[in-house]
Amino acid sequence: MTSIAPWQLDRHLLRLVGQPRVCRHLHLSLQSGCDATLRRMRRPYTAERYAEIVAEAREAVPGLAVTTDVIVGFPGETETEFEASRAFVRRLSFSKVHVFPYSERAGTAAAELPGAVEPAVRAARAAAMAETAAEGEEAFRRRHVGRVETVVWEGRRRGRWQGMTDNYLRVQTVSRADLALTPTATRLTAIDGEALLGEPCSEALPEKPVATRRSSSLREAH
């Protein structure tokens, strides 16, 4: 769908994401799951407010893929703060997390902050955060096993058709039919690494799920 700052998400945009022709995906930049770090980054939200936004988006658009960015080793980040951020990422179970170790840029306010984190520590924290992120990504895939989703097949590689769902799940299948660029109802049967295995079926293309309750605290668009 799109990449936006979390405070930019409003009810109007969620209603658009809920339309049948729009992919169920939002990229909401987090940067850190620790409030102390967010304050040093001058981000205008807390971790809990971010969690509320994600929860409302997921309720409004069932099956929504929420991806994010996280920085580790920001100046002043203690081990306790890093673990708080890591626990937050684990809790929200994103479908994809882009993890970046902090890198100094001359002339930025962050470069003047005290408490620089050693490069080796940044690298270790990035590896640990990436491991936690991978757990969430696998959990997102696992929740879809057994479901029927619409898959658009891009092509065949190594004997398997490769395709994507509208919430960016990579799916593979074996078929003699020409599936190229054909939206196909597909039952997702198992996880295979970073992809799901699927079986095209004769069912009608599944309708996009709709929310059972309207988002209550997101702002209206102006």
| pLDDT value, residue 220 | 60
| pLDDT value, residue 46 | 96
| pLDDT value, residue 188 | 97
| pLDDT value, residue 217 | 62
Question: Contact at 8 Å (CB) between 96 and 67?
Answer: yes
In the DSSP assignment, the letter for residue 111 is G
- Mean pLDDT, contiguous 10-residue spans, the chain (222 residues): 80 85 92 97 95 94 94 96 98 96 85 87 97 96 95 93 95 93 93 95 72 56 46
Instruction: Collapse the DSSP code of 124 into the 3-class scheme (helix H, G, I; strand E, B; otherwise coil) and give the result.
Output: helix
Closest of 5, 80, 57 to residue 211, by C-alpha = 57
**Topology classification of domain 2-142:** Transcription Regulator spoIIAA (3.30.750)
d(CA 189, CA 199): 7
pTM for the structure as a whole: 0.86
Token couple for 2: 């799109």
Token couple for 167: 């919430």
d(CA 159, CA 163): 13
**For the chain, which residues make up each domain, given as ranges?**
2-142
d(CA 151, CA 183): 5
